Structure formats: C-alpha cells, structure tokens
Amino acid sequence: MTSIWADEDLTRDAFLGGRVALLQPRRGYRAGTDPVLLAAAVEATPGQSVLELGCGAGAAMLCLAARVPDLDLCGVEIQPGYADLARRNAERNKARVAVHTADLRALPPEIKARRFDHVIANPPYFDRAHSRPAPDPAKETAFGAPLSLALWIDAMARRVAPLGRLTLIQRADRLPEIIAALHGRMGGLAVRPLVSRAGRDAERVIVTARQSGRAAFRLGAPLVLHEGDRHLSDAGDFTPEAEAILRHGEKLRI
C-alpha cells in the first residue's frame, strides 16, 4: 500500500530516549506522552497477547514492545493512513505487530474470534455532544470521534480473555463514565491520576480492570509529571518518576 503522506510530510521522532523511532505526520494527530504512559501501565509479560483499539501510528504498542519482549501484538485503526504508518513503524522498530484497518464497531473476524491477555486504548478525549469539532479531520478522529466512551469500553471488554486486563488513558473528568461502563462487568478496578504539577488537579487518569477480578477498587497516588509550579525554560523538567517512565522505559505502577 502506498502511503498517503510524502516523505516531506512526515517527521521522525524518538520515544523512550531513542529506543522507539516513530514516523508521524507533520500535521494531524501526533503522539505525545499519553501513549507512552499507557504502554508503561500495561502489566504484560513475555508471550502474552495485546490488542490496541485506535492504535494510530503505533506509539503505544511499540513502546510496550520495547519494554516487554516477545509479545503477540495486534492493533486496530480506522484511519488507513495511520494504520499504514503503524505497519511501517513496526517494521522500522523490528516489532511483530499485526495492524488491521477497521472500525471498532465492525472488527475483522480474526480479531472477533480471539480474546487477548491485555486490551488497551487511548479513546478520543472529547464528547462531541458537548464540544466543537477540531478543524483538522485527522485530529478530529483522534480527539473527538462520534463513538461514545461507553462503546469504546464495551468493545475493549468483549476482547479481554478470562483474568485478562483492560487498560486505558482518558481525561480525569470522564472517570465517572468509565466506572459506570465497567460496573458489574469487570473487577479489580484501579485508577492512577496524572497531574502536570504538584498541587494541581488531575488532568488524566489511567484506569485498569480485570476480567473476573474481585479485588477492591483502588485509587493510587497521583503521578506528578513536571517539577516546580510552572515551566521556566526549554530544558526538560520531568520529575524523576516521570523521567524514568518516559525516557528510560520503566513501568508505571497503578
């Protein structure tokens, strides 16, 4: 398949301190820290299977593959251009990943026939019933697709194997929707708030739940991403814990 982007329309970006090299479009949705944090939170072990819904250019899957070897990785992406980039990025990073171009409401038979040890996602952050669309179509699909968050969680939960885990990253103000969608369906619910700086409200949350899990709900201590109370220079200002996760590929404890 020929890429929809010319080489000059792509950037070559490094993640995890250079352990992951990613082709991304100069314009449109571009991966930042969220997929790296999502990958860091997945409690995968070598040999397990992982499905990512809405994988974009493959940042989360490839960061996970860099930390945990020998995973059976599958991605689903609705936008053909990004799905193509995910395949190219997997090849560039020598990762074994099967990427399917599909809508999560109509998953391909080979995905529907399987259950996975881990199902992960970074669902669109905005409910378009209460916000305006992004001007860029690629960003709109990534940040504000018309599908409800409940539908995303339903699609994820259906693919989780017995005792497997669902893990997602989302805006903190949508945590009630996530809990409602998982209530009575999955257990062992745990939440780790993500805070830009100490003393501020959480902006994101990472949520994990287990199929047939029985553990009590757990709300972890916030992960503070940046030192100080404001950004003072162009130099990096990540906290030691955030630096270890984002630059050195350490696991994020939930």
Contacts for 71-75: CB closer than 8 Å, 24+ residues apart: 71/44, 71/46, 71/47, 71/96, 72/47, 72/48, 72/96, 73/49, 73/97, 73/98, 74/49, 74/50, 74/98, 74/99, 74/100, 74/111, 74/116, 75/51, 75/99, 75/100
Q: What is the pLDDT of residue 213?
A: 85
Q: What is the pLDDT of residue 131?
A: 46
User: In 3-state terms, what secondary structure has residue 188?
Assistant: strand
Q: Is pLDDT of 97 > 70?
A: yes
Q: Which residue has the higher pLDDT, 15 or 2?
A: 15
Separation CA 158–CA 79 (nearest Å): 22
In the numeric block, the tokens 């329309």 are attached to: 9
Q: Is pLDDT of 54 > 60?
A: yes
Q: What is the pLDDT of residue 134?
A: 47
Q: Is pLDDT of 7 > 70?
A: yes
Q: Is pLDDT of 135 > 70?
A: no
What are the percentages of helix, strand and coil residues in the chain, rounded to 5? Answer: 30, 30, 40
- Biggest alpha carbon distance in the chain? 51
Min mean pLDDT across 62-76, 137-151, 208-222 is at 137-151
Q: Is pLDDT of 140 > 80?
A: no
Are 52 and 116 in contact, with CB atoms under 8 Å apart? no
Q: Is pLDDT of 98 > 90?
A: yes
Q: How confident is the model at residue 129 (pLDDT cuts 50, 70, 90)?
A: low
**pLDDT (average), residues 71-76:** 98
Share of the chain above pLDDT 70, in %: 89
Q: How confident is the model at residue 232 (pLDDT cuts 50, 70, 90)?
A: low
Separation CA 168–CA 38 (nearest Å): 7
Q: What is the pLDDT of residue 231?
A: 63
**pLDDT (average), residues 55-74:** 98
In the numeric block, the tokens 């030691």 are attached to: 240
Handedness of CA 72, 75, 80, 81 (dihedral sign): negative
**pLDDT (average), residues 132-138:** 53
Q: What is the pLDDT of residue 126?
A: 72
Q: What is the mean pLDDT of the chain?
A: 91
User: In 3-state terms, what secondary structure has residue 17?
Assistant: helix
Separation CA 86–CA 107 (nearest Å): 17
Are 114 and 73 in contact, with CB atoms under 8 Å apart? no
Q: Is pLDDT of 39 > 90?
A: yes
Q: What is the pLDDT of residues 188-230, one digit of tens each?
A: 999 999 999 999 999 999 999 999 888 999 999 999 999 987 6
Q: How confident is the model at residue 138 (pLDDT cuts 50, 70, 90)?
A: low
In this prediction the pTM is: 0.90
Are 91 and 38 in contact, with CB atoms under 8 Å apart? no
